[in-house]
Amino acid sequence: MSDSNLTIAIVGATGAVGTIALELLADRAYPAERIILMASSRSIGKKLPYLDTELNVIEAVPDAFEGVDVAFISVSAEVSRALAPEAVKRGALVIDDGSAFRMDPSVPLVVPEVNGADLEWHKGIVSIPNCTTTPLAMSLAALGQSAEVTRVTVATYQAVSGTGAAAVRELHEQTADVLAGRSTNPKEYPHQIAFNVLPQVDDFAKDGYTGEEHKMINETRKILHDADIAISPTCVRVPVPVTHSEAVQVEFKRPMSPEEATRLLSEFPGITVVDEPQASVYPMPAQASGKDDVFVGRIRKDASHPNGLALWIACDNLRKGAALNALQILDEAIRRDCVKPVR
């Protein structure tokens, strides 16, 4: 199956990730036969620009998937659990951006540069990792080509767009309120996000870790096919609109020099090394936003462990963290001739 005769649906087309998915299709002049935009009933009749035309948004209901070959779904887990099986039943490959299917053992969780071969056993649904997991998994896969990774400690600095468009608006509104000396009224987060950092992303579990932190642990292990790798994340929400950053410490079974790590990362597809600290050149959200690659810098020996390295990552959470990864999954499925599921 070629990409030129595909009918592609974007479910959640008016959301933060859905709009980027449509932009990416337009930027690449993707040769799909037809693109269908779906959202909740609140968005029926909206028009979104695409190339030199506008596309109407229709309601995401089961019958809307008739004739759809590929459905990019970026909605709540509850809605995805209801719609994805209906799309598969009607013959579509579902590429799901949410958490609904990530840890289902019958559903591949895919970053194409890392484990694209897992697409070959999908049964109709492919899941996209959490937007913090993807850049970490890519970096670990690059480094793990030369030395076995044994332990990872990571602190994330997550943009508000990971919560959704409403959180971006809230950041803008709160920033204006604080600068004007007005009180803020938090809705999307338990506390003010403007001029603040929140050491909480998702709800807390009994072990003191949050849901987001558990996602990073479990998803990274699944993508890397390594159930034994030790991972300890701390996920933090920061007042940045777009692009997640991560401070990572990696321990290996043997020492690895920063020079070897730089070479491995530079050669890995989808990673760009930006590492001239003496010139104040390193990855930043302002530089990574709107870009496709995962940016890695501050590569250095871990001063606390002889087999350790420390590094810094920045990645646009709406692009490679979500929409771009979905499109790359489709490209990889076409390349492997596995758009249609294994029966």
The dihedral region occupied by 136, where left means phi > 0, alpha psi between -120 and 50, and beta the remainder, is alpha
Q: Are residues 269 and 294 in the same domain?
A: yes
Q: Is 122 considered catalytic here?
A: no
Q: Are residues 203 and 329 in the same domain?
A: no
DSSP letters spanning 202-269: S-B-TTS-BHHHHHHHHHHHHHHT-TT-EEEEEEEE-S-SS-EEEEEEEEESS---HHHHHHHHHHST
Q: Are residues 24 and 99 in the same domain?
A: yes
From 122, 131, 315, 338, the catalytic residue: 131
210-220 pLDDT tens trace = 999 999 999 99
pLDDT at 31: 84
Q: Identify whether 189 is part of a domain.
A: no
Q: Identify whether 178 is part of a domain.
A: no
**56 DSSP β-pair partners:** 47
The backbone torsions φ and ψ at residue 214, rounded to the nearest 5 degrees and listed phi first, read -65, -35
Angle separating helix axes 211-224 and 133-144, nearest 10 degrees: 40
What tokens were used for 201?
């992303």
Q: Are residues 312 and 209 in the same domain?
A: yes
Q: Are residues 153 and 271 in the same domain?
A: yes
Q: Are residues 216 and 239 in the same domain?
A: yes
45-78 pLDDT tens trace = 899 999 989 999 999 999 999 999 999 999 999 9
- Residue pair 24/324 in contact (Cβ under 8 Å)? The answer is yes
CATH number for the domain that contains residue 303: 3.30.360.10
Counted domains in the chain: 2
From 122, 235, 244, 338, the catalytic residue: 244
Q: Identify whether 184 is part of a domain.
A: no
Q: Are residues 313 and 329 in the same domain?
A: no
pLDDT tens across the length of the chain (343 residues): 555 689 999 999 999 899 999 999 999 888 889 999 999 999 998 999 999 899 999 999 999 999 999 999 999 999 999 999 999 999 999 999 999 999 999 999 999 999 999 999 999 999 999 999 999 999 999 999 999 999 999 999 999 999 999 999 999 999 999 999 999 999 999 999 999 999 999 999 999 999 999 999 999 999 999 999 999 999 999 999 999 999 999 999 999 999 999 999 999 999 999 999 999 999 999 999 999 999 999 999 999 999 999 999 999 999 999 999 999 999 999 999 999 876 5
Residue 67's domain comprises 3-129+322-335
CATH number for the domain that contains residue 71: 3.40.50.720
Q: Are residues 72 and 139 in the same domain?
A: no
100-120 pLDDT tens trace = 999 999 999 999 999 999 999
Q: Are residues 83 and 207 in the same domain?
A: no
Q: Are residues 290 and 329 in the same domain?
A: no
Handedness of CA 275, 281, 282, 283 (dihedral sign): negative
Beta strands in the chain (DSSP E): 7-11, 34-39, 47-50, 53-59, 70-73, 93-96, 125-127, 149-158, 230-237, 244-252, 271-273, 294-301, 308-315
pTM for the complete prediction? 0.95
Q: What is the average pLDDT score of the chain?
A: 96
Q: Are residues 253 and 143 in the same domain?
A: yes
Q: Is 244 considered catalytic here?
A: yes
Q: Is 113 exposed, middle or buried (0-12, 13-18, 19+ CB in 10 A)?
A: buried
Q: Identify whether 182 is part of a domain.
A: no
